[in-house]
Amino acid sequence: MLLVFLSSAAMGQNENPLFQSTEPLNIRATGSVKSIKKNSNDSTLVTASFQYQKDSGNWVNVPVQAKVRGNFRLRYCYFPPLKIKLRKKDVDSTVFRGNKALKLVIPCRAVSDANSLIRKEYLCYKFCEVLTPYYFKTRLAKFNFTEISKKKSKDYDLLTFFVEDNSLVAKRGNGKIQETKGLAPGSFDEKQAIRNDYIQYMIGNADWSSLYQHNTNVLYANGKYITLSYDFDMSGFVDASYARENPPDLGTGDPRERVYRGFCKSKEAMEEIRKEFLGKESAIQSLIDNESAFFNQRDMKDMHSYLDKFFDIMKDDRLFRINILEGCRTD
């Protein structure tokens, strides 16, 4: 599979210039979806080439390795999410400098609301930046993909985004990524666990597990485990139609229904983080407003309303007690 990327972003002298700007990259690729699905899997990489264009107009060739990732989306979706590996010597003089690996989040299918769903998931990552010190950096990209086939080539204009590798989050957090599964709930940093649980509840995401590292990574820092969540496309906030094909066996099975999946922690810590979240309500809602040019009025109203219901629960002592203090897991 041949990947050809075009970027119009200016490159600074920062260690990781990719995430220094919020302006979307303009990227393009040529290849075969069928080929990369057939020849790669979660542990098998395929060789590809990567190009981007500097502001000067010069093209830079970068060899990369890529693989598909994920389970449900790989089976159900047409476009597979990708993980790209890069070598230091190949990217030192590029906008990708400082990255050894990247995830590329791509729409599930080329449907009318594909780009808005991607932007909603991107917003979930931005919420994390406001609500927790441990998060993945992201960068939007306007992706023109030309698919080569025996019958006829086809062009797709897709909104995508890059997600930094967990090793960079670990470096910022002065810790190490752990792959041990089946961890005890009490081994996680209490306040960070609550922050993660509240974020997942806020966006209505039940498709995750910190103990078994499903749609999460675990960072070990300062003698405690810290959850790093990703892949929020199954959340009620995103409201992707395909989420209904894979609802977790919780509640009614409606992917928009909020189900609190956090383990019970001390009431003092849960109340402290509750106040912390309430203090950031306006900042969270402003993130949605900042994206208003890219959503229709119905989507804007729905996103605000969905988060309003979460903050209504956080503000009301009775609702907070019923849904969270009494709804938390004990085993």
50 in helix, strand or coil? strand
Note the pLDDT tens digit of each residue in 168-196: 999 999 999 998 888 999 999 999 999 99
Instruction: Please say whether the beta carbons of 148 and 31 come within 8 A.
Output: yes
Within 8 A by CB and 6+ apart from 11, the residues are 17, 54, 94, 95, 97
Q: Are 232 and 238 in contact (CB under 8 A)?
A: yes
The kind and range of the H/E element at 299 are: helix 297-315
Q: How far apart are CA 60 and CA 66, in angstroms?
A: 18
Specify the pLDDT at position 200.
Answer: 98
Note the pTM of the prediction, 2 decimals.
Answer: 0.92
Is 70 exceeded by the pLDDT of residue 2? no
How many residues would you count in the chain? 331
What are 123-168's pLDDT values in tens digits? 999 999 999 999 999 999 989 888 988 778 999 999 999 999 999 9
Report the DSSP beta bridge partners of residue 242.
none
- CA–CA distance, 229 with 231 (Å, rounded to integer): 7
What distance in Å separates the CA atoms of residue 207 and residue 200, rounded to the nearest whole number? 9
Identify whether the C-beta of residue 187 lies closer than 8 Å to the C-beta of residue 218.
no
Beta partners for residue 29, in sequence order: 145
Taking alpha carbons only, the member of 91, 99, 133, 85 closest to residue 20 is: 99
